[in-house]
């Protein structure tokens, strides 16, 4: 199940240049490149002639020439040259997708282009905000995108999957958790008071005693999870809003379905301490990358079982409240999108 009328991250800004980049998004082949003045373009990566990926071709000025028989397409996906003939068949065109560059990511709209409003792009300003140090990374995951969403909405797994970095048992045994649900949003807030800091926090935050730790997970459909995480020395007032003497970070995740069984996992980490020190950013990123690779091993192992037996019965536990709320929202939005598409077809 893919929701189409949403902005998704298609690529990191530095991945896209004058060499065409192929990426499958929501099951569709897409080719990304930049025009000579740097404007990003996204076209269907399938030549209208005999379906070779256009990404195998090359850029001639602002046109993309197919590697097979040399048809050239402009940035709107219209064929502008067929070698050896003057007449260009009207059917010689490929799909063109709206693209916006923001927060060091290229965002693509896979749905009805008439609905593509850049104001609807989810806010990830921490990634290019001068008040934060930040870096982004990309992981290819051989698993369905919803497994990644589930994972980030239930952070009790940190105690088991990430005990060498961001997890410890206090997360499960000594946490107070609140789940807030709005129309298209779930927020899970977890506080762990007066407990030891996990290894990553000791390493990057220098804590020596117990801490008050928070994890505030903000889910926006289809697959955006922005985590406000941090800790302060215990008793200094973080639960009341006085975040002093500790560290705050934003763990920023944007998952883009590639196929039903594979995903593009764009993520970044922003930190509010030592913000101009690239070594600190690298240290933080190293810790999170270690943890995320542990997650990827989990997703991919889950996917193997899900492929063997699709839609098996599952057992829910208390920690799943946020996950269940998010799935309800996604189910509703999917039904709404399907109904709208059916209405459009009926009206045509």
Binding site for Fe ion (CB under 5 A): 295
Report the partner that residue 295 touches, choosing among ligand FES, Fe ion, none (CB closer than 5 to 8 A by kind). Answer: Fe ion
CB within 8 Å of 66: residues ≥ 6 apart:
47, 49, 52, 54, 56, 57, 72, 73
CA distance 288 to 281: 11
Minimum distance between the CB of residue 134 and ligand FES, rounded to whole angstroms? 40
First-last CA distance in the chain: 24
Residue closest to Fe ion (Cβ): 295
Minimum distance between the CB of residue 49 and ligand FES, rounded to whole angstroms? 3
Q: Which residues bind ligand FES (CB under 6 A)?
A: 47, 49-50, 52, 66, 68-71
Q: Decide whether 44 or 295 has the Cβ nearer to Fe ion.
A: 295
Minimum distance between the CB of residue 77 and ligand FES, rounded to whole angstroms? 13
Report the partner that residue 66 touches, choosing among ligand FES, Fe ion, none (CB closer than 5 to 8 A by kind). Answer: ligand FES
Report the partner that residue 69 touches, choosing among ligand FES, Fe ion, none (CB closer than 5 to 8 A by kind). Answer: ligand FES
CA distance 261 to 238: 40
Is the Cα dihedral 61, 67, 69, 71 positive or negative? negative
Whether 195 and 173 have beta carbons less than 8 Å apart is answered as no
Q: Decide whether 52 or 96 has the Cβ nearer to ligand FES.
A: 52
Q: Decide whether 82 or 319 has the Cβ nearer to ligand FES.
A: 82
CA distance 39 to 18: 10
CA distance 18 to 336: 39
Q: Decide whether 65 or 253 has the Cβ nearer to ligand FES.
A: 65
Q: Decide whether 57 or 167 has the Cβ nearer to ligand FES.
A: 57
């Amino acid at each position: 199940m893919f929701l189409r009328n949403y902005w998704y991250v298609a690529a990191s800004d530095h991945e896209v240049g004058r060499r065409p980049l192929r990426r499958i998004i929501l099951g569709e082949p897409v080719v990304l490149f930049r025009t000579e003045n740097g404007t990003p373009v996204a076209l269907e990566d399938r030549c209208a002639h005999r379906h070779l990926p256009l990404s195998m071709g090359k850029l001639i000025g602002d046109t993309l020439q197919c590697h097979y028989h040399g048809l050239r397409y402009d940035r709107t996906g219209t064929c502008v040259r067929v070698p050896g003939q003057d007449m260009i068949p009207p059917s010689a065109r490929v799909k063109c997708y709206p693209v916006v560059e923001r927060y060091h990511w290229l965002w693509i709209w896979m749905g009805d282009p008439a609905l593509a409003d850049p104001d609807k792009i989810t806010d990830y300003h921490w990634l290019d905000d001068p008040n934060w140090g930040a870096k982004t990374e990309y992981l290819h995951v051989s698993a369905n995108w919803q497994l990644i969403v589930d994972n980030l909405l239930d952070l009790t797994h940190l105690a088991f999957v990430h005990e060498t970095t961001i997890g410890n048992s206090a997360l499960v045994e000594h946490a107070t958790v609140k789940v807030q649900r709005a129309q298209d949003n779930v927020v899970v807030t977890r506080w762990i008071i007066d407990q030891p800091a996990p290894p990553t926090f000791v390493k990057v935050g220098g804590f020596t005693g117990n801490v008050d730790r928070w994890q505030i997970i903000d889910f926006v459909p289809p697959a955006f999870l922005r985590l406000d995480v941090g800790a302060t020395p215990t008793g200094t007032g973080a639960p009341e809003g006085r975040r002093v003497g500790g560290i705050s970070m934003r763990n920023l995740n944007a998952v883009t379905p590639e196929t039903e069984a594979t995903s593009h996992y764009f993520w970044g980490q922003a930190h509010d301490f030592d913000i101009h020190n690239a070594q600190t950013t690298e240290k933080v990123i190293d810790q999170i990358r270690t943890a995320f690779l542990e997650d990827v091993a989990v997703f991919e192992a889950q996917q193997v079982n899900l492929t063997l037996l699709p839609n098996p019965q599952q057992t829910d536990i208390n920690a799943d409240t946020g996950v269940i709320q998010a799935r309800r929202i996604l189910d509703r939005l999917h039904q709404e999108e399907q109904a709208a598409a059916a209405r459009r077809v009926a009206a045509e």
